[in-house]
Amino acid sequence: MKTTLIATLLICLPLFAACDDGEPAGSEYNGFYQVTLSQERTSCSDQDAWTDLDIMEPYFKLAAQSFFGTPIVGWISCTGETEDTCDDETIDLMGIFVKKDGTWQQYMTTSSSGGGETICYLTYRQGIPALTESGLSITVTRWEGEITLEAGEECDPDLVDKYFDQMDCTQMEYLEATRL
Write down the pLDDT at residue 21: 52
The domains of the chain are located at: 24-179
What single-letter DSSP state applies at residue 8? Answer: H
What is the pLDDT confidence band of residue 69, given thresholds at 50, 70 and 90?
confident
The DSSP result for 91-105, as a single string, is --TTT-EEEETTEEE
Question: What are the C-alpha distances in Å from 119 to residues 111, 115, 154?
Answer: 10, 6, 9
pLDDT tens digits along 88-139: 777 887 889 999 888 999 989 999 987 677 899 999 999 999 999 999 999 9
To the question of pTM greater than 0.95 for the whole model, the response is no
**What's the CA gap between 80 and 60, in Å, rounded?**
9
Q: Do residues 60 and 75 touch, judged by C-beta distance below 8 A? A: yes
With 50 as the cut, is the pLDDT of residue 18 above it?
A: no
With 50 as the cut, is the pLDDT of residue 10 above it?
A: no
| SS3 category, 101 | coil
| SS3 category, 25 | coil
What single-letter DSSP state applies at residue 148? Answer: E
Write down the pLDDT at residue 19: 45
